[in-house]
A and B are shown apart, each in its own frame.
Chain A
Amino acid sequence: MPFHARVSRARFVLGPFTAEDMQTIGGVLVDSISTRIRKALNVNDAPAKALKPGRNGRRGYPDYKIARGLMPIRDWIWTGRTLRSLKVKSANENQAVLGFVDPTVDRVAHVNNLREKQFGVSPKDRSALNAAVLAVLRQARAIRVKRAA
């Protein structure tokens, strides 16, 4: 059963966005972060450090990834479950929460993030976020140009 973000209604609304807008904005950020991690970039948009190779002639994680047909980079992909679980978990008019909907995956992501911080908002993610906010603002015409009475 696909996961659906919990869209709630805030008691006090601060921003000009609807909950759906916030979900859209969060979705853009999710896509940006997911795409960046798939490229093995960290929160600074820099390449993440290489995977630790095997020692003493034994195969390491990169080797296993190659054998599996995957790229030997720190892209958080083995089965793809981790990044598939990255979603907008909840959204209302004031906030949207991005995270991993699977608790197990959340722990894995936490460990991965301890090794190298990749799950976060990088400058490029921030740019994408700003663009999304601007687009929603334009679309929603949050600021209406009209003469004051």
Chain B
Amino acid sequence: MPDQESIVLEIDPRSVLAAIKQANTAVEGWEKGTVGAGERMQKSLERMSEMLIKVNDRSRSSMERLTQSIEKQAAAYGKTEVERLIADRDRYIKKLGDEQGMVDRVTAAYNKMIEAAGKSGGSEIKQLGAEARESKASLALMGEEIGVHIPRHIRGFISSMPGVGAALSAAFSGIAVVALIGVIVEAIKKVVEFHENLEKLREAPERIEAEFARLTGATKTANDEMRVANDRLENAIAKLEHRPQNNLKLAIDEAAVAADHLSEKMDKALRSFADVAIKNAPGVFANIIGGQAGIDDIVKLVQGKSGYGGLIGDLYKATSSGADPTKVLGQYRAAVGTMIRQSEMAEAYQQGKGFEGVSYEDIRGAMTGRGKLPPGLRFENMLADQAPRLETLRALDREIDLLGQSYGLEKKNTSLTGQEDRLKEVAKSTGVKEELRQQVARAQEGELNGLARINAAHQERLRHLKEEGQLNTANAKLAGQIRDAEIARFEKEEQRKTAAAVFGANTSLGEAGIRSNYAIFQANRKASGAAFGAADINAEYDTSMALAQKQFDLAAQHVRELRDMNATDGEIQRAQIEATKAFALAALDAETKRRVELIDLARQQRDEESKTARANYDNARRLSDAMATEQERRERDVVQRQIKMAEALGLKTAGGQVATALTVEQLRTAAAQMQHDQAIARITQETIDARKLSGGTPEEQRQREAELNRLKIEGIKAEGELQRQIDDAHQDRVVKLLEIQKREMDEIQNKASGLFHTLFTKPQDFGKQLGSTLKEAMLKPITEGLGGLVAKAVQPIVSGIGGIFNGIFGTKQDPMKIATDLNTAVTAQNSVAIASLTAVMAAVMGMGAPAIAAPSGVPGGISLPAISVPAPAGGVAGIGGSGAPIPIAVAPGGAAAASIGASPADILNLPAMHNGASMNPLGMILGANRPGGTSGIYSLFTKAGFSKTLSNLKGTVWNQQAWDASGGGFGGGVQAIAKSPAAGAAGMMLAMNGLFGSSRGTWGGIAQSTAGGALIGEQIGGPLGAAIGAGAGFLAGLGEKLFGVESPENEAKRLVKQLYSINIDNSMAKQIAGIAQQKYAGHVSIAVRDPDVRKMLMLYSEATGQKMPLSATTPQSASLAEMGGKLYQQATYVNGSPYAFQSNLSVLGGYATGTYPSSGPMMLQVNVQGQGAAQFVAGQVVTPEFVQAQWSSAAAGSNGRLQNSAVIQQPGLVIA
């Protein structure tokens, strides 16, 4: 089934072509650079969009269209063919609507048909058409056969000639002469063209008039219809309007709207006008042959050159800008009027008439400039046929006039339409208001309506009785009873409604009271904060219940009223149920709120407690961490100091360094163990505190477990750290030992390399160097060991005595010792302060004091636990505030063994070393760190200390055991002294000096080595040992003497004596030996010849009054002077003694001078080079005159003025 209602949007191909043409025109104009091309492009697009889519509103059903078609056929019956054609044309025109182009084409087509129908019947037209077609075919065929092409229109013309068509049809087969036919055809062509043009000339004015009449008629018709519509609107307005309206702005807007609406209409009308004018314009033939005036200027006036200028363009601009197009139309109408006058003047001139009061002669004279013309006219085209032009101009004039009227009507139509709409709105709103007003009135009548309705029903009942003829007293009474009953029921119903309303209002008020009470309760709760408690919630519950009870009382009152009003049982029961339900709901609500509030309160309290516990735990943990960190840092510093001191106090020997490395490892291990113990204690305490955290909620439980897990992880890390520290310390010691061994190996290797080098380079020195090497190797451990023993024995004495004197004279003490003492003291004070503070804070927080050390005697009597406790084997333990050990599981392989053996100690009794260490440097220095101690510096100031010092002194020089063993006496005394450490040390020094010191190789050295050997032997083997030692020492010294072993110092003395004939002391000899060692690889023989050494010896000799001869190899200066024509030798001074060279020149002044040693005759060597050689060869040598001149020049330039003056005034004076 086809759709009954649809709208089809179709693309109109003709519109597409037109639109594209317009667009191309616009683009072309744009390409030519025309101003406003873009605007026109826009307009073109707009027009294109307007004409592109054709709307075919198929809003009527096909059946209706069929019906209308039948009706139109019926209407056409009985009419002539022309009338039917006209009717069809009008119907199509109406259907086409605004499609002016198609309207024109349809009109033209129908005009032809109407014209043909008017001239002859339809049969004649058909016959004529048939003949024409046959003739055309004949001519075409002829042209093809004879090879001469006859244009199509010529064929049509020939065919249309009377009788020609029939003749050609008959004579078609007899044509044979081609040339003749060609001539005939050409002649016919010309004749036909002439005929056509003449025909057009003859028919043109009429056709133009008719077409323009139709064109203007369409416009006129549209205007008439508009005028009718306006009349109808005015009538409608006259009915609706009760007051005049004249709004200027509205009028302007409506004028603009009218212009907009009219724009398209004007454009199409003028464009159609231009098309018609162009179509009917006289051609070249008409201009030349017919002498007709052209209309190009008219077309140009209408649409310009481009088709969008002229009147069309100006009107479009005016309407587009909302301006009044009337002015434009007036301007163009004036121009057209002038053109009409021009043509009319020409026409009058051609007829020999005057125009507008100007005579023919004057007009004619104007051609030569002597006559005159009407104002505004020109003498041009005066002989052309003005008929077509005049018709065109008059049609244009009428068109412009109609356009002006159309604009006015459109404007008025728009205004009236707007007015009508507004008035309709007003009328509509007035009707609505009236309806509302009536509704208000009916609403205000209210209750009376019911009574009125009852009365009306009563009257209707009476009227009905009357109509039925039953209106009598009885029936009237019954009717009255009915009315009374209805009224009573109505009033009772009203009462119930009122009571229900009152009850409803009270109920609402009560509910509002309950809500208000609860809101106030909530506000109070927020304002009260922590002070809010269960009592407040219970009070609120009581209040809510009281309000509910009040509501219930109101409901009961309502039930009673219903009973009083004789309400039905159902209504009463419903009210009772409602009251009970309301109370039950209120009570349930109050109870629910109370319970919810209590639960919420409990939750809040629990949250607060949890937060408090958490905060306490966090505070304690932070405090514990801070203290542990400080304590660890302090103890680490202590250990570092201990390590430094151990390294400082350790012997520099290999054995001493090994011992020191072991001590350092032990110290580091002890420190790591200490830190481990403290960390474990802290973790234990924090674990205890973490277990106290609340675990009411799963979240809290998770947090607690996470905290405990964190502490376990810390414990594991502490164990790992301890093991790492121990391993690092051990590894460092091993590395140190390896380094020591490597160094020893390197020394041995160096020595051996030197020996072999000597063996291969200086075999004669091998024995000497081997002995020296073996001696060093043997003596080094002995000397170092003895030195260490001596230092160990003497250091306390020296330190104590030094301390005594330092104390007495206030001399500067050892800075390191002072710093250590101060640091220790301050650390102790800090520990006391921290312990006190911790105890106080723990007490305030209600917690057990954390594990931290404190010395005894803390003010306040707070007993604090020890800083560390022994860890049980197999696990790590900590001590809490109560001192109860809490075992913490550790990973297998923990450093439990490292903790075994640790002893409890407070902070002031920290183990300075590991238990296995044999020496306690810190204890040696610090002692008990307070006056009255039993060791250290304080011991020197006590009786026991002084006694101990004396005992030490005695032990140094006296061997009590030897004394006791010898049985006393002198021999025993000798034995006791000879076996004392001091005697041993003295023997060692004597032996060393005799054999290896500066006395070696001398008789003194033999004596020293003998004595030293005796003392050393006495230490080892008593008197026999002394004898052996003395013998060994003697033999060793003698051997050195025999083998010529000589010390560098003795060698220096010997050589100095030998070379310079002076004796030097040991210091000078050592100095020379040192110089030899530093500069000349130990060769003293070179060192004594060193110039510096020689100068030093010169000074030494002068200082000691010895005469040291001058050296001949030392250059000395000489000075010659001329006096009295005689040349003298001036003395020069060496160390203040005058010397002169051995010469026949006498010494100036006659001094007694020493003589410089001279190895040969004096030589004068002159070095001349370069330019100087050339001058010398040329005889340009330095002459006295040259010297004099130079000297004068230098004196004039103040060069060496002071020296010169001194030389002049006092010869020989040295000026520095």
Contact = CB atoms under 8 A, between A and B. Distances in A.
B311 interface: no
Contacts, number: 97
A15 B48 CA distance: 11
Give the most central of B12, B49, B61: most A CB within 10 Å.
Answer: B49
B1089 to A, nearest CB: 112
A25 B4 contact: no
B148 to A, nearest CB: 39
B10 interface: yes
Contacts of B421: 46
A71 to B, nearest CB: 12
Given A113-B59, A130-B50, A145-B30, A25 B9 contact: yes
Interface string B272-285: 00000000000000
A146 B41 CA distance: 13
Contact of B59 (A120, A137, A145): A120
A100 B5 contact: yes
Nearest to A138: B45
Contacts of B428: 47
B9 A95 contact: yes
B812 to A, nearest CB: 101
Given A47-B424, A119-B59, A133 B5 contact: no
Contacts of A47: 424, 428
Contacts of A121: 7, 55, 57
B761 to A, nearest CB: 106
Nearest to A135: B49
Interface string B1-25: 1011111111111001000100100
Given A134-B49, A137-B48, A117 B4 contact: no
B27 interface: yes
Interface in B14-64: 16, 20, 23, 27, 30-31, 41, 45-46, 48-50, 52-53, 55, 57, 59, 61
B49 A133 contact: yes
Give the most central of B4, B7, B48: most A CB within 10 Å.
Answer: B7
Contacts of B57: 120-121
Nearest to B31: A147
B736 to A, nearest CB: 89
Contact of A97 (B7, B16, B61): B7
Interface in A1-57: 14-17, 22, 25-26, 29, 33, 46-47
A100 B428 CA distance: 32
Given A121-B57, A129-B53, A133-B52, A110 B5 contact: yes
A143 B23 contact: yes
Interface in B409-447: 421, 424, 428
A83 interface: no
B11 A113 contact: no
Contact-residue bracket for chain A: 35 or more
Contacts of B27: 143, 145
Contact of B9 (A29, A103, A113): A29
B9 A98 contact: yes
B5 A113 contact: yes
A94 to B, nearest CB: 5
A15 B11 contact: yes
Contacts of A131: 49
A14 B61 CA distance: 28
A2 B1153 CA distance: 144
A117 B9 CA distance: 19
Given A94-B11, A143-B48, A119 B20 contact: no
Give the most central of A15, A95, A129: most B CB within 10 Å.
Answer: A15
B41 A120 contact: no
Nearest to A147: B31
A130 B49 contact: yes
A74 interface: no
A31 to B, nearest CB: 13
Given A29-B9, A143-B45, A147-B31, A126 B55 contact: yes
A12 B502 CA distance: 80
Given A14-B16, A99-B6, A93 B11 contact: yes
Contacts of B13: 14
B4 A130 contact: no
A104 B57 CA distance: 20
A17 B49 CA distance: 11
Nearest to B421: A46
A107 interface: yes
B5 A130 contact: no
B20 A143 contact: yes
Interface in A90-129: 93-100, 103, 106-107, 109-110, 113, 117, 119-121, 126, 129
Given A133-B53, A143-B23, A145-B41, A109 B4 contact: yes
B61 A110 contact: yes
Contacts of A143: 20, 23, 27, 45, 48
Given A97-B6, A107-B4, A109-B5, A25 B53 contact: yes
Contacts of A33: 7
A103 B10 contact: no
Contacts of A98: 6-9
A103 B48 CA distance: 35
B470 to A, nearest CB: 26
A109 to B, nearest CB: 5
Given A133-B49, A143-B23, A145-B27, A106 B4 contact: yes
A147 B31 CA distance: 8
Interface in B56-109: 57, 59, 61
A59 to B, nearest CB: 16
B48 A110 contact: no
A1 B36 CA distance: 52
Given A130-B46, A130-B49, A134-B46, A120 B7 contact: yes
B11 A17 contact: yes
Contacts of B10: 94-95
A99 B7 contact: yes
Contacts of B6: 89, 97-99
Contacts of B424: 47
A117 B59 contact: yes
A14 B3 contact: no
A76 B6 CA distance: 16
Contacts of A110: 4-5, 61
Contacts of A17: 11
Nearest to A145: B27
Contacts of A93: 11
A26 B7 CA distance: 9
Contacts of A95: 8-11
A95 B52 CA distance: 11
Interface string B917-952: 000000000000000000000000000000000000
A129 B27 CA distance: 25
Given A143-B20, A145-B30, A147-B31, A15 B52 contact: yes
Interface of A: 14-17, 22, 25-26, 29, 33, 46-47, 89, 93-100, 103, 106-107, 109-110, 113, 117, 119-121, 126, 129-131, 133-134, 137-138, 143, 145, 147
29 contacts: A14-B11, A14-B13, A15-B11, A17-B11, A25-B9, A29-B9, A89-B6, A95-B8, A97-B6, A97-B9, A99-B6, A106-B5, A117-B59, A119-B59, A120-B7, A120-B57, A126-B55, A129-B9, A130-B49, A130-B50, A133-B49, A134-B46, A137-B48, A137-B49, A138-B45, A143-B23, A143-B27, A145-B30, A145-B41
Given A100-B5, A130-B53, 17 more contacts: A14-B16, A33-B7, A96-B8, A97-B6, A98-B8, A106-B4, A110-B4, A113-B59, A120-B59, A129-B53, A133-B49, A134-B49, A137-B48, A138-B45, A143-B20, A143-B48, A145-B30
Closest 6 CB pairs of A and B: A15-B11, A99-B6, A110-B4, A133-B49, A134-B49, A98-B7
Interface of B: 1, 3-13, 16, 20, 23, 27, 30-31, 41, 45-46, 48-50, 52-53, 55, 57, 59, 61, 421, 424, 428
